[in-house]
Amino acid sequence: MVGRISLDVLRSRRAHPAASYQDRLPELVVTLDDGPAPEEDAVLADSVGLALLVVLDSLRPSERLAFVLHDLFAVPFEEIGTILGKSTAAAKMLASRARRKVRATERPAGLGPEQRQIVQAFLTASRDGDFEALLRVLDPEVRLSVDTPAGEIVVLGATKVAAGAQLGASGVKLGHAAFVNGRPGLVCWNEDGSPLSVLAFTITDGRITHVTILTDPAKLALADLPAPA
């Protein structure tokens, strides 16, 4: 799965036409993870900014306008209500709803040693074909989302994801831990140095709960990815 998804796993895919912004990689901010370094703060700052933009883009237009005008530019709710054609109370409610969504955005994780160890354990188990080790790092209800040239593919459940990881990692020669939009991840390359895939992990309570993989060659070619380590 690190580089390619097996045909058996692809046959078990489920259609998911309306993927959320959280499940996508709309813009890639990728840096290789060679251990703690001062520049990680800048990478995290970029990721926080990107996360905020994604959240703002997911708000309804009226929510976004009320939130931005009031919280960022201190425009009174009376004026916001007039602009939106709503009452002052309704404008306050829209801003409050947007504020809750923005505050619910978690600070990107993946910079701690525990997350590094989990990603490394996943990579090692995938390369070794160790099914049991994969199950130990995967949440039972883990979700795998793969962005391919044919569209998005979704696989649910630790058993199916682990089976795909076993088969998919066999042909991968070059892979390196990375930060992908502030999340722990991996970058994989073909033997000629061209990008093969980018993976981003969501880790909760010591287990991988979501894996997002970009394998579309056209999108990979447009991304500003690091060279093979």
- Considering the domain architecture, whether residues 45 and 152 belong to the same structural domain is answered as no
Within a domain: 73:
yes
Q: Residue 155: helix, strand or coil by DSSP?
A: strand
- Considering the domain architecture, whether residues 97 and 198 belong to the same structural domain is answered as no
What integer pLDDT is reported at residue 229 of this predicted model?
Answer: 65
Within a domain: 86:
yes
What integer pLDDT is reported at residue 81 of this predicted model?
Answer: 93
- Considering the domain architecture, whether residues 53 and 160 belong to the same structural domain is answered as no
What integer pLDDT is reported at residue 35 of this predicted model?
Answer: 58
Q: What is the mean pLDDT of residues 76-82?
A: 93
> Is the pLDDT higher at 45 or at 186?
186
Q: What is the mean pLDDT of residues 37-46?
A: 47
pLDDT over threshold 50, residue 211: yes
How confident is the prediction for the chain on average, in pLDDT?
75
- pLDDT confidence band for 14 (50 / 70 / 90): very low
- Considering the domain architecture, whether residues 93 and 117 belong to the same structural domain is answered as no
Structure confidence by residue, pLDDT tens digits, 117-157 = 888 888 888 888 889 999 999 999 999 998 888 888 899 99
- Listing from the earlier edge strand, what are the strands of the sheet with 174-180? 30-32, 174-180, 183-189, 195-204, 207-214, 138-148, 151-156
Which ranges of 4-87 does DSSP label H, i.e. alpha helix?
A: 7-11, 40-58, 61-67, 77-84
- Considering the domain architecture, whether residues 174 and 116 belong to the same structural domain is answered as yes
The total number of structural domains in the chain stands at 2
- Considering the domain architecture, whether residues 27 and 140 belong to the same structural domain is answered as yes
- Considering the domain architecture, whether residues 30 and 143 belong to the same structural domain is answered as yes
pLDDT over threshold 90, residue 90: yes
Q: What is the mean pLDDT of residues 70-92?
A: 91
Within a domain: 227:
no
Within a domain: 48:
yes
Which residue range is the domain that position 60 belongs to? 41-103
> Is the pLDDT higher at 24 or at 121?
121
pTM of the predicted model as reported, rounded to 2 decimal places: 0.56
Q: Measured between alpha carbons, how far is 30 from 182 in angstroms, rounded to an integer?
A: 8
Are 50 and 181 a contacting pair, CB within 8 Å?
A: yes
pLDDT more than 90, % of the chain: 21
By DSSP bridging, strand 138-148 and strand 207-214 are parallel
- Considering the domain architecture, whether residues 115 and 164 belong to the same structural domain is answered as yes
- Considering the domain architecture, whether residues 126 and 19 belong to the same structural domain is answered as yes
